[in-house]
Amino acid sequence: MCGATGADDAVAKPLTVEQVRSEKQAVKLLRRQTKELDSLRRRHAKERYDMLRHQCVVFDKQYQQHERQRLQAERKKNKFVSHFHRSNKSMFSILL
- Whether residue 7 is contained in a domain is answered as no
Q: What sign has the CA pseudo-torsion 20, 24, 27, 29?
A: negative
Residue 51 in any domain: the answer is yes
Q: What is the pLDDT of residues 51-90, one digit of tens each?
A: 999 999 999 999 999 999 999 999 988 888 787 777 666 5
- Is there a domain that residue 80 lies in? yes
Residue 56 falls inside a structural domain? yes
Total tally of structural domains belonging to the chain: 1
* Burial of 12 from C-beta contacts in 10 A (0-12 / 13-18 / 19+): exposed
- Classify residue 2: in a domain, yes or no: no
In a domain, 33, yes or no: yes
**CA 73 → CA 38, 63, 66, 78, distances in Å?**
52, 15, 11, 9
Identify whether 54 is part of a domain.
Answer: yes
For 31-50, what is each residue's pLDDT tens digit? 999 999 999 999 999 999 99
Q: Residue 38: which domain range?
A: 26-95
Residue 17 domain-assigned (yes or no): no
